[in-house]
Amino acid sequence: MLLKDKFIALGVTGSIAAYKAVELVRLLKKSGAQVQVVMTRSAREFVTPLTFQVVSQNPVITDMFEKPVHWEVEHVSLADRADLFVVAPATANVIAKMAAGIADDMLTAAVLATRAKVLVVPAMNVNMFCNPITQENIKYLREKGIFVMDPAEGFLACGYSGKGRFPEPVDVLRVIEQLVGTRTDLQNKKILITAGPTREPIDPVRFISNHSSGKMGYSLAEAAVERGGEVILISGPTSLERPAGLYKYVAVETALEMREQVLKFFPWCDVVIKAAAVADYRPKNYSGRKIKKKDAEMVLELEKNPDILKELGEKKDRQVLVGFAAETNDIQKNALEKLNRKNLDLIVVNDVTVEGAGFGVDTNIVKIIHRNGTIEELPKMPKKEVANAILDRILQYLNYS
């Protein structure tokens, strides 16, 4: 029961998905949490406060100006008590209010007053979710350290199909457990993670790169932060939002830039996870001007980039070193050879030709190979769950029980 005695404030807003929040409350109570539900006026049009009162075993707060049971400023008291403030479902309207700092009802006032972590779970029409204003508001909340879950995709109550569904309550529960559960097993541990591709320029408008999206590395960084780690994320170019709570974020373009930053912070860290897809080669001759197309074929001469992971394996003393291998054939053989040649503690390998395990998707199917030869095969899982599985194995090398 990771949530035993945790105080969760749950804000419910005016979405048809409000009925799913009832199941979320049930799951939270089953996990040992205390739950205080706050409902907006619109939310009460979909589910009655009595339903939440029965399931949460607490009176439901509905009015900013109702007579308090105890002499206290209720929205401030609620904000102070919360270990986590969850807004689920969150409409486009309440997301906009949060982004603007508007506090015109009990829910938005309490969210603005809290110093606890805040989790927002959007649920709305696909067009509303994809509207640039909503996307900009979500981006702003994330930049301010608020955790925002991505909605699920599928058939919506309004008749449309697309992104905007409220996630399954059990998936929301998992995120809550990660945010405020009792797992602080990486506290005071310094973790360096690399993510994304590199770009090796040919001329001012062209470059060599690969299909890496950075999702696995970013999931690792997010999970490590949630478990108490001090995380430096060194990232090649991606379209991803940087995880909240990082100790430091460093953006790089090329393999040489990544090498420079990794070596700079290597003495600082306890763990290095090299999830980035670093280019093996770069153009030998960079052209400062755009190379014009000609009738004749063009030969591009390449030179080898430094092997950052191998260099770290030669330098490490106390650090736990984890590598990744994206393969298409001889998966296990190639990964084992890489682990031994580069002096790794763990290597995570996947077959990028398998559906659900390639670049750019939200899931992964991996094998984790240990330095003693042990091989663990994980089923298809969301990348965040894969990230936590990898961190669990790293703990074994940090002498955690």
pLDDT attached to residue 73: 44
CB atoms within 10 A of CB 16: 16
Q: DSSP state, 44?
A: G
Higher pLDDT residue, 164 or 311?
311
Contact criterion met (CB below 8 Å) for 365 and 356: yes
What percent of the chain shows pLDDT beyond 90?
67
- The response to whether 169 counts as a known ligand-binding position is no
Structure tokens at 174: 């998992």
pLDDT at position 193 over 80: yes
CATH architecture of 7-180: 3-Layer(aba) Sandwich (3.40)
List every span in the chain annotated with CATH 3.40.50.10300: 190-397
Q: Is 158 a catalytic residue?
A: yes
Q: Please indicate if the annotation marks 290 as binding a ligand.
A: yes
Are the C-beta atoms of 277 and 256 separated by less than 8 Å?
no
Tell the residue number behind the tokens 């890489």, with chain if given. 338
Contact 133, 100 (CB under 8 A): no
Mean pLDDT of 356-370: 87
pLDDT bin (cut points 50, 70, 90) of residue 75 is low
Cβ contact 55:10 at 8 Å? no
- Mutual angle of helices 106-113 and 92-100, in 10-degree steps: 40
Give the integer Cα–Cα distance in Å for 370 and 211: 27
Of residues 105, 98, 49, 96, the one with CA closest to residue 74? 105
324 is known to lie in a ligand binding site: yes
Average pLDDT, integer, range 356-376: 88
pLDDT at 356 (0 to 100): 80
| Helix-helix angle 383-397:169-180, to 10 degrees | 30
Question: Worst-scoring range by mean pLDDT, 106-115, 244-253, 328-337, 352-361?
Answer: 352-361
* Catalytic residue from among 54, 100, 157, 158: 158
For 165-201, b/e burial (b = at least 16 CB within 10 A) is bbbebebbbbbbbbbbbebebbeebbbbbbbbbbbbb
Q: How confident is the model at residue 65 (pLDDT cuts 50, 70, 90)?
A: low
Class of domain 190-397: alpha beta
Query: Which amino acid does the sequence have at 171?
Result: D
The chain-wide mean pLDDT, for the chain, equals: 90
CB 366 within 8 A of CB 348: yes
Is 234 annotated to bind a ligand? Reply is no
Confidence of residue 77 (pLDDT cuts 50, 70, 90): confident
Q: Are 10 and 25 in contact (CB under 8 A)?
A: yes
- Predicted confidence band at 133 (pLDDT cuts at 50, 70, 90)? very high
Residue range(s) in the chain whose domain bears CATH number 3.40.50.1950: 7-180
Going by the DSSP 8-state scheme, the letter that residue 168 receives in this structure is P
Q: How far is 219 from 266, CA to CA, in rounded Å? A: 21
Q: How far apart are CA 82 and CA 1, in angstroms?
A: 18
Which structure tokens are listed for 149?
């879950």
Nearest-5° angle of CA 144, CA 150, CA 155?
150
For residues 1 and 263, the model is more confident at: 263
Q: What is the pLDDT of residue 401?
A: 38
Cβ atoms of 78 and 112 within 8 Å: the answer is no
188: region left, alpha or beta (phi > 0 left; psi from -120 to 50 alpha): left
Q: Is 308 annotated as a binding residue?
A: yes
Check pLDDT > 70 for residue 154. yes
